[in-house]
Structures are given as structure tokens and as C-alpha cells.
Amino acid sequence: MKLDAKIPKGPLEEKWSNYKKTARIVNPANRKKLNVIVVGTGLAGSSLAASLGELGYNIKSFCFQDSPRRAHSVAAQGGVNAAKNYKNDGDSVYRMFVDTLKGGDFRAREANVYRMAECSLNLIDQAVAQGVPFGREYGGYLNNRSFGGVQVSRTFYARGQTGQQLLLGAYQALMRQENKKTVTMYSSHEILDIVIVDNQAKGVIARNLETGKIEKHAADAVVLATGGFGKIYYLSTLAMGCNGSAIWRAHKKGAYFASPSWTQIHPTSLPQSGDYQSKLTLMSESLRNDGRIWVPLKENETREANNIPEEERDYYLERRYPAFGNLAPRDISSRAAKERIDAGFGVGPLKNAVYLDFSKSIKEQGKDKIAEKYGNLFTMYEKITGINAYKEPMKISPAAHFSMGGLWVDYELMTTIPGLFAIGEANFADHGANRLGANSLLQACVDGYFIAPYTIANYLAGELTKEKTTTDHPAFEQAASQAEQKLVSLLAIKGNKTVDYFHKKLGKLLYDNCGLARNKAGLEYAIEEIKHLSEEFYTDVCIPGDLNSMNSELEKAGRVADYLEIAILMCYDALTREESCGAHFREEYQTPDGEAQRNDELYQFISAWEFPGNTKEEPILNKEELSFEYLQPTIRSYK
């Protein structure tokens, strides 16, 4: 298949306007005749379902949680970016476009990145109108702070709860539409498959997680807003329920999967404290505005942090990246931390952390000012660790976090399956090989509120005159039968190892060989080991319970089965890209001073992987060549 990104004609700053001028629309009387399924109720899914409901479409909204409020968007704490230039420090839509494209190491489409920056202006006004309590200055103006990879203040925040507050705004809008009967909510439902009829997405197969019942749902279009798959590493900043199953099952039905190996390791997580943990806690990147990161100059230091004098501390980010210092981008900051830890300068009981120190900021600004900006984060840190970070430094460590990769989508956010859209972190579209902090909430919101309502309408306008597909179509029965058989076969294995056993082994394999750093030998080793682990899974996994009732182990088993397949594709993707870019750091391709070394001549493209038909064959690589008309790729330096 030739990949057509459908990028509109015209100058960069006019492309989105030109698209909206020429896009087909559906008149209000006809919207009530059209049905859309939206899977996921995080910021992307809730905002889209609410927006389409407000327009008058019939929406079915699905989430596997018991309430949309439990979506993982709440964990994005630090802020949301917008190029408002309220600080009058030189920000603009174009500067935000440059920062984002550069931050992604020139592995994203110019048109998509510019559109996200352009739409950021509207988002803040929308959120304020919804009642999101952004931080304000004394005079009442909205306040900003800075995030990694930029030299301006464009991040709007609600203390350390920005994602939660934005999600509450979207949730209220969603519940308003449910009350108006334009949205029907299906909580505690997991999507088992996408139904394809005449090469178009026409519905989903879902399982009611409370009763075990398998259900069929038809629609004129399907939208996946199911987030990222960073939980594949087992220990990550994501909640246990986060998974990649919906997008993976869409991939196996024909949707191309783009850049799966581009997964972000966040630099400010709490370090692992033992094998008993199932997740790691994210400390907001916003802390790097006022916290200084350092390690002792002495290897295997045993003194407490406050007993180490200033001249015996290595502020390594400030030393290596003086222009950006502690606000260097996430991929660079994480690799720098790992390098210091691996070299023997790590701190904490397991020597697997670095210090994040607020003593200088507290001395200059006062404790009350720091508490005003980050108080809930300090409270959370003390609750977890027992340490008062106002009195001694926090300990932080890199952890798996965000998926830049996801389903390949065109400019309209539609996958290679007509009628199947992917928004937010479920797609690959806006961040390239590395996401800048506070752009995740931004992408999720603008996809749902401002972009997908236009692009989906453009598609639905062509569906009005077509005969409606119902759940009586044989494709629904076939998909439901296959989905049920998959669950039955998992329950029938009757092995003696838990699902978590396989997930932990997979996570360690990936973190060691396809994590912060990768190399050819390690990736080839990982592919073979994951294949062996997958064989063991299908003979030795033990899943108690039955199909026709609540069964959390069965849910986990299905997700880990998908992870085992996603993991192999991640390693293939990393193996075939013989360069370093953003979060993809191949040890064979680095500069003499240890920085990522791109190869624009051979690898200036998006890897879009096609499912070969079965898991025994190698995936098929398709390429979307990237061209840069407005910003030529340069060496990505933060020094």
C-alpha cells in the first residue's frame, strides 16, 4: 500500500485552515442518523465523544475502567503547552513548532506538528471556560512555567494535577452529553476486536468485564483513543490496566503500526525499591524547573545527601548541557542519568537513582513559594518514601513512560483501515522520536476537541447514503466467535506460572535490550528470547476462574499475549533503524561525546509496519518518507 498522508496544499500556516474550508460536513438533521464508537475515555476519548455528542451524532463511549474519571490522563501532572506568549519571552506558534519538531529529532510531519501548535491557542481558552483551575499570577493572569527542551515558559498548570483537572473538564462535558442521550456509556468494557466490513471499520466486539458477556456493537466509524503501551515494560509510570491491546488487534486487522520502538523513558520517576513492585510512581517533569539534578563526584558514596559538600557534587546536566541544564529533553536527561548510575555514581539503597535537589530554590524563593507550585507532589513523595523533600533531595530514576509510536494515521487521523481513526497516544502522529514534556495533554485535547470532529465529519459525509451495517452481518459473528475462542484457549492452558511472571520477564528483556539503549546483538537476542517466552506462555500460563464472570487474570492474560507480539515488532523496528534518533539510541550510532547520531540520508522516514497475516512471519516494513520544506533538519544540540 502506498502511504498517503493527505497533507493539504498551501503554506504551512494555512494548511489546517485550507483543510477546514474544503472538508465535507454533515448537516445537523443528518448527524442523528450517524453512529460513532469511541474507545477510551481519557482526555482524547472523552473530549471527542463530548464534542461529537454536542454536534448531534450518536456516540457509544467505551472504557475498561469503572468510570471515565479513572482514565490514566490523570497521571500527566505537570502541565499542558500552549504558545500564548503570556510571559512575553518570545514564544509563538512557529517557535513551538520548531521546538516540537526538533525535540522529536526531525522524525515527525511538519504539517501535523504545526497544527498541534496552532490549536494549542484555543485549548487554554476552552479549558478555562470549563473551569480548569490553572495557576495564576497575583494580578489574576494565567501563569506559565517551562518544561524540558524549550527556552520559553509555555506550560499552563494546575499545581501538580493538570491532567486530572483537564480530565474533569472533559468528563463533565461527556456526562452532559450522556444526560442529553447523545452519548451512551459502556464502562467496564474491553474491546476484543475491530469488525471490518468491505474493508471499512464498522464496529467492535467488546467484553463486559463484570459479567463476562461478549457483545457486538456496530457504527459508521470507530475511533481508538486507548492510550499508549509503555506498560509493556511491566515496571513503568503507567497504571496496571494500561495496555496496547485495542491498537494491536486493529493492527492485526490491517491498520499499520508506526515506529513501535520509539518509547520514552521518563527521567523523573521514583526509583525501583524491590521486585515486589508492579509499577513506578511518576514525579512531574515540572519539578525540574526548580530542582537541580546531581550525583556525588565520588563513586559508591555512602554519605547522606546533605552531608556532601557543594564542591563534591556533579550537576551533570548543567555541566553537559549548559544552554538547557536541568530542562534538557527527556530522552537526553534519562540517558545521562543512566550513564551516571551505570558508572557507579548512583544513590539510594540500590544505587539506582540520582538526586533532585530543591535547597537552592527554597533558599531563593522560600518554602511557601515552592509549596504553592508543587505542594501536592512533595506530599505524595513523602507519603511514598517517608522523606521530606523540603529538607533533603528527592531520589529519582528513569522509567518507561510514553509511546511515541502507535497506529499510523494520515493528516485526518485515520488509519490505513477506512473509518478507523486513532487519536491521542494511540497514534504516532505528532511527537517524532521523542515527546517534549506537557505535549501529551496537548495532543490528546486538540485531537479530541479541535481536529477529529472535522476529519471524522469529512469521512462520515460519504457514509450517509450507504446501507447501514448492523450486528447481524456475518463479520460480527465471525469476529465475536474468534474473540471468544481466544479467551477459551487461554483458560484451557492450565499451566503453573502466573501472568505476571511472563509480564515481568518480558519487561526485563525489553528494558535491557530495547530500552534506553539498544544494539544489534541485544535486539537479535531479545527477538529470539521473546519468541521462546511466548511459546512458554502458551503452555505454562495459569489463569484461574472462568469466562462468564469477572476475571481480572483473564483480562491480564489477553493483554500480555498482545504484549508478547508487540515486543517482537518493537525489536524489529529498532533493529532495522540503523541510526540513533530521540528515544531510539543505537549504541553503534553515536557521536564521540555520546550523543545520538541521525542518518537523514537513509532513515528520514516513518516506519509503518504491516501485519504479515500470522505471527510466525516477519512483519512487513512500509515507509512514509518525510520531507522538510519549512525547517531543515539540523544536529539536535542542547549545549
State the catalytic residues.
Answer: 330
Yes or no: say if 500 and 507 are a contact pair by the CB < 8 Å rule. no
DSSP state of 69: G
Yes or no: say if 169 and 131 are a contact pair by the CB < 8 Å rule. yes
Q: What is the DSSP string of 320-350?
A: H-TTTGGG--HHHHHHHHHHHIIIII-BTTT
CA dihedral of residues 422, 425, 428, 431 (deg, nearest 10): 140
DSSP state of 191: E
Yes or no: say if 263 and 399 are a contact pair by the CB < 8 Å rule. no
Residue 169 φ/ψ, nearest 5 degrees = -65, -45
Q: How far is CA 130 from CA 278, 491, 579, 605, in A?
A: 35, 46, 44, 39
- Cα-Cα end-to-end distance for the chain: 41
Residue 572 CA to residue 618 CA, distance in Å, equals 9
Q: Where are the alpha helices (DSSP H) in 514-638?
A: 520-540, 552-576, 600-603
Grid coordinates in use for 172? 463533565
Residue 139 CA to residue 338 CA, distance in Å, equals 42
State the number of CA atoms in the 13 A half-sphere of 484 facing the CB.
14
Q: At CA 296, angle to CA 290 and CA 299, rounded to 5? A: 155
Crossing angle of helices 552-576/245-252, nearest 10°?
Answer: 60
DSSP state of 291: P
* Three-state helix/strand/coil letters over 77-122: CCCEECCCCCCCCCCCHHHHHHHHHHHCCCCCCHHHHHHHHHHHHH
Q: What is the DSSP string of 162-189?
A: HHHHHHHHHHHHHHHHHHTTSEEEE-SE
Q: What is the DSSP string of 352-417?
A: -BEEEE-HHHHHHH-HHHHHHHHHHHHHHHHHHH---TTTS-EEEEEEEEEES-EE---TTSB-SS
Q: How far is CA 15 from CA 18, 21, 50, 632, in A?
A: 5, 10, 26, 19
Residue 603 CA to residue 241 CA, distance in Å, equals 34
SS3 52: helix
Residue 577 CA to residue 107 CA, distance in Å, equals 12
DSSP state of 289: G
Nearest to 427, CA basis, from 250, 605, 565, 591:
250
Residue 441 CA to residue 119 CA, distance in Å, equals 13
Nearest to 234, CA basis, from 497, 507, 500, 502:
507
Residue 284 CA to residue 80 CA, distance in Å, equals 12
